[in-house]
């Protein structure tokens, strides 16, 4: 923006100057997953640290501001056996890996959990994540 001062008669009394207006991003958008339901698979008996899948979310807020930084977390996992926490997620990348041994296809063919991406100020949108167990033979 360029402006200059004028007197009551509209005559310019100062040289024009540049005025800079910085618009700051407002945290007005919720993050959204690219899919509402995600399906992945993992071999039964997988060791802890086995990659299962990656989930991705987007946010319309400025990615270069704190408002656009995404953080992933698992809200709950089902079933609770053999362990209530069979999987973990990298809070920055969305990569999901196993953290406990004991995934047995004969006991349960599918494990599901509710997953959420969250931002500061607790804005979040959930997605359903399913991990199907693959037989060893």
Condensed to tens digits (0 to 9), the pLDDT of residues 32-54 reads 888 888 888 888 888 999 999 99
Domains and CATH numbers, the chain: 25-134 (2.60.40.60)
d(CA 68, CA 63) in angstroms, rounded, equals 4
Over its C-alpha atoms, the chain yields an Rg (Å, rounded) of: 25
- Cα–Cα distance for residue pair 109/30, rounded to 1 Å: 33
Give the pTM: 0.72
Query: CA 102 to CA 86: how far, in whole Å?
Result: 8
Over the stretch 85-123, which tens digit does the pLDDT of each residue have?
A: 888 889 999 999 988 877 777 766 555 544 444 433 446
């Amino acid at each position: 923006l360029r402006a200059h001062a004028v007197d009551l008669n509209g005559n310019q009394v100062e040289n024009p100057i540049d005025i800079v207006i910085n618009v700051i991003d407002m945290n007005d958008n919720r993050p959204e997953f690219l899919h509402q339901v995600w399906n992945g698979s993992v071999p039964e008996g997988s060791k802890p640290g086995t990659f299962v899948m990656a989930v991705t979310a987007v946010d319309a807020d400025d990615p270069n501001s704190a408002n656009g930084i995404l953080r992933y977390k698992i809200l709950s996992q089902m079933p609770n056996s053999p362990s209530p926490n069979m999987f973990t997620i990298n809070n920055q990348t969305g990569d999901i890996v196993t953290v406990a041994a004991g995934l047995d296809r004969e006991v349960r063919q599918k494990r599901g959990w509710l997953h959420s991406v969250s931002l500061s100020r607790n804005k979040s949108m959930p997605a359903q994540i399913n991990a199907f167990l693959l037989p060893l033979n």
